[in-house]
Amino acid sequence: MKARIAVLPGDGIGPEVIAEGVRCLRALAERHGHELILTELPFGGAAIDLAGTPLPEDTLAACLQADAVLLGAIGGPKWSAPEATVRPEQGLLALRRALGVYANLRPVKVHPALLGASTLKPQVLEGVDLLFVRELTGGIYFGEKRREPDSATDVCTYTVAEIERIVRAAARLAQKRRRKLVSIDKSNVLETSRLWRAVATRIMRTEFPQIALEHMLVDSAAMHLIRRPSDFDVLVTENMFGDILTDEASMLAGSLGLLPSASLGEGTRGLYEPIHGSAPDIAGRGIANPCGTLLSVALLLRHSLGLEREAAALERAVSAAIEQGARTPDIAAKGARAISTREVGEAVLAKL
């Protein structure tokens, strides 16, 4: 097949981990006879330095013409001063909106060889295989914002249509898994959450009666993610709650560097990125974990290009490399030798 992929390395460790993702993409394309046209574009802080905006017009145009977008990470102290009017994160929010990617998928699966990498007891982590579905283009992040000398306001708004489509997306994914869906809100306090709960209940009862639905308050969900994580299958929630809970859930796997994400809309085009940030403290040192990026590439192959065989092969290669000790410092066993970002990429390529 032939496909166009927009590659946005971004800032900090973004270019380092993206380099390994691109190598694996090219290797799979060559092996399976695909023509992948990869175009690297400035985005985030790097784009601010280059063009004065985190999302240049050329970058946005290329992303809108691509079959998929692969992103590294954005941001850093250089662009985060409180008085800054232009920030890398503005580009990310604008890109998500322009692409229409409202459903953020964040799978969390604990690798048996990494049970010791988490701070939780191994017996708590056994069998953890869950999927967060986070609403990505609504809520408080996209609401009206005001700042006065003595106050500030961030408005959280959700429409029935926004809730319906994200709940449907989560339910369709639950149908292919264990048929359990937990909807997370704060309906004891927030009107947006009361609407969320009512809509989720209606959609599940009328359209997906075969799926077990459980409602959970966000604070309770945060507790149970640590207490009994293996009980969860698919979890759906709004934008800010999902942002926070998925970072918490990443610690089940042992490191932010391990987990991928896919942001999808109504079509096949998606935005794919590891869930970690730009990690400026380790940028340029060659020790960033590329596994989250490599697994994001697998999601790209599966959801945007329809290449399930290639996606599964990459996931198996990452798992096998970890099993045989290809680990950066964030997940290396105590006393074991940690290897570089590049060496992890080489180990995965060898398995492919």
pLDDT band at 250 (very low <50, low <70, confident <90, very high): confident
Name the amino acid, one letter, at 200.
Answer: A
Fold match between domain 1-101+261-352 and domain 119-253:
yes
Q: How large a percentage of the chain has pLDDT more than 70?
A: 100
Average pLDDT estimate for 180-208: 98
Per the annotation, the verdict on 272 as an active-site residue is no
> Architecture of domain 119-253 in CATH?
3-Layer(aba) Sandwich (3.40)
pLDDT band at 71 (very low <50, low <70, confident <90, very high): very high
pLDDT of residue 83: 81
Cα separation, 79 vs 11, whole angstroms = 11
Q: Which of 129, 141, 154, 180 is catalytic?
A: 141
Domain boundaries, the chain: 1-101+261-352, 119-253
Contact 42, 81 (CB under 8 A): no
For 276-312, how does the pLDDT look when each residue is reduced to its tens digit (9 = 90+)? 999 999 999 999 999 999 999 999 999 999 999 999 9
pLDDT of residue 262: 98
If you write DSSP's letter for every residue of 233-256 in order, what string do you get? -EEEE-HHHHHHHHHHHHHHHT-G
82: pLDDT strictly greater than 80: no
Q: Which of 129, 154, 231, 247 is catalytic?
A: 247
117: pLDDT strictly greater than 90: no
Per the annotation, the verdict on 219 as an active-site residue is yes
Q: Which of 186, 233, 272, 330 is catalytic?
A: 186
Q: Which of 78, 231, 243, 351 is catalytic?
A: 243
Q: Looking at the domain that runs over 1-101+261-352, which CATH code has it been given?
A: 3.40.718.10
Q: What is the pTM of this model?
A: 0.93
Contact 211, 181 (CB under 8 A): yes
E strands, the chain, where?
Answer: 2-10, 35-40, 68-73, 103-109, 129-135, 145-148, 151-154, 180-185, 212-217, 234-237, 260-264, 270-274
Containing 167, the helix (H) or strand (E) segment is helix 160-175
Cα separation, 320 vs 90, whole angstroms = 37
Cα separation, 4 vs 283, whole angstroms = 28
Contact 348, 317 (CB under 8 A): yes
